[in-house]
Chain A
Amino acid sequence: MLEILSYLIALALVSGFIGAISGLGGGVFIVPALVIFAHMPMKVAVGASLISVVATSAGASVAFVRDGWTNLKVAMVLECATVTGAVVGAYLAGVVPTVVLELLFAAMMLQSAYFTVTKRGDDIVTKGDPLAERLELSGEIPDERGHPVHYEVVNVPPGGALMVVAGLMSGLLGIGSGALKVMAMDYIMHIPLKVSSATSNFMIGVTAGAGALVFLARGDVATTIAAPVAIGVTAGALAGSRVLPHLKVESLRIVFVIILVLVAAEMGWRALSGI
């Protein structure tokens, strides 16, 4: 038993660590780690990952909420979209063939790699659209000198539509879909990147939680796997967030992209060759 536990916790620890320092979350690494290295069925890996994503989101978002980086109202508005997608996705995960899940997973990893490469600076707007103003979604962030900079939010409906897709992918594949969420907020809704990342992190808990509840209630979560994975990913994410300020993440970006592309290729190959 100790051997199995050590192996699972070690895999989860490394996945959580890489997920934290890459900013992509543990789910996108733990699912392929369990499938490729531990030879686990895809659906078991997805169930275990969803639970661990809830844990890492809760742990990682504490500091961002406390320090004011998370836009709580944006999170609450967009969670309506992600929860809808996640419940549908988690339901479909029970009926969609594994080959489709693996191909979708490969596609999501490529999207994360694309996002990592094309991540850009802030494009702040000073006039929000009427819906955003009605929902009071604007906020403030400090500039380099610590002075507050006001930002407004635009394009709530298209941003919300992409959030439904993010939720769907989360429920189907057991990931937080952080890269998709940040893209929706940053590119479409013009929310500053750091606020988008912090808000995405916060929302991931609810998105993954919705999927996890479907899996758990359906009896599709293997406690023997999910428990050590949740502990390992949480510990890895905690360690990652501690060393993150001391790392030159920019120089590691290319490493993350290579890992994502390689894993996407492996998952795609597994799907197409029927392993």
Chain B
Amino acid sequence: MPKQEEDRILRVWTPILLRSILITAMVLLVAGLVLDYTYAPDYYVDRYNAVMHGQLIGKEKFGLLAERIREGNPHTVLTLGLFVLTLVPLARVAFCFVLFIKERDYVYVGLTAYVLAGLIVGMMVGSAG
């Protein structure tokens, strides 16, 4: 694949990828707040007050997200929206990584792999800490 073609693919698809995930995340966040307001406004206020006193609720396990959404927990939709939002950079770097593999541009395969690894290590560091 010529370099110009690679650049064209990046310039066409990166904005589409960024915008799609961003819109999905924003829809989830707005939906989560509307659901919170409709079904659990007191719960929201309680959590807000707890946070203001320095009490964070703690880790939200990835595996529990789907289960809680099935249970109809409106607050989980908010958490899901935030997770989707943080996927924006991960998805973008993963897309570049695949493109560079396809093009056999091994220097950039290495560089994007390092960035991807950094993002994943970040998640692991956070989970452990």
Contact = CB atoms under 8 A, between A and B. Distances in A.
Given A5-B37, A208-B89, A230-B82, 10 more contacts: A59-B19, A62-B15, A84-B118, A86-B122, A135-B107, A205-B88, A209-B89, A211-B122, A219-B56, A227-B32
A79 B115 contact: yes
Contacts of A61: 15, 18
Interface string A98-117: 00000000000000000000
A44 B50 CA distance: 11
A210 B47 contact: no
A66 interface: yes
Given A76-B115, A83-B115, A209-B90, A214 B125 contact: yes
Interface string B56-77: 1111100000000000000100
Interface string B1-20: 00100010011101100110
Contacts of A86: 118, 122
Contact of A225 (B37, B48, B108, B111): B48
Nearest to A55: B85
The 5 closest A-B pairs by CB, nearest first: A217-B126, A209-B89, A219-B59, A83-B118, A214-B126
9 contacts: A44-B54, A58-B89, A59-B19, A206-B92, A217-B125, A219-B58, A219-B60, A224-B44, A227-B78
B11 A65 contact: yes
Contact of B45 (A1, A68, A73): A1
Given A62-B18, A217-B126, A224 B47 contact: yes
A38 to B, nearest CB: 8
Contacts of A213: 86, 90, 119, 122-123, 126
Contacts of B118: 80, 83-84, 86-87, 210
Nearest to A139: B7
A264 interface: no
A218 B128 CA distance: 7
Interface of A: 1-2, 4-5, 39-41, 44, 51, 54-55, 58-59, 61-63, 65-66, 68, 72-73, 76-77, 79-80, 83-84, 86-87, 90-91, 94, 134-136, 205-206, 208-228, 230-231, 234
Contact of A227 (B29, B41, B59, B92): B29
Contacts of A136: 3
Contact of B37 (A1, A65, A222): A1
A214 B112 CA distance: 19
Most buried by B among A76, A87, A222, A224: A224
A44 B122 contact: no
Contacts of A62: 15, 18-19
In terms of DSSP, what is the predominant structure of the interface of chain B? helix
Contact of B123 (A72, A84, A214): A214
Contacts of A40: 51-52
B79 A223 contact: yes
Given A54-B85, A80-B111, A221-B82, A215 B30 contact: no
Contacts of A214: 122-123, 125-126, 129
Contacts of B26: 55, 230-231, 234
B45 A51 contact: no
A124 B66 CA distance: 52
A41 B54 contact: yes
B122 A222 contact: no
Nearest to A136: B3
B47 A222 contact: yes
Contacts of B106: none
A5 B33 contact: yes
B56 A55 contact: no
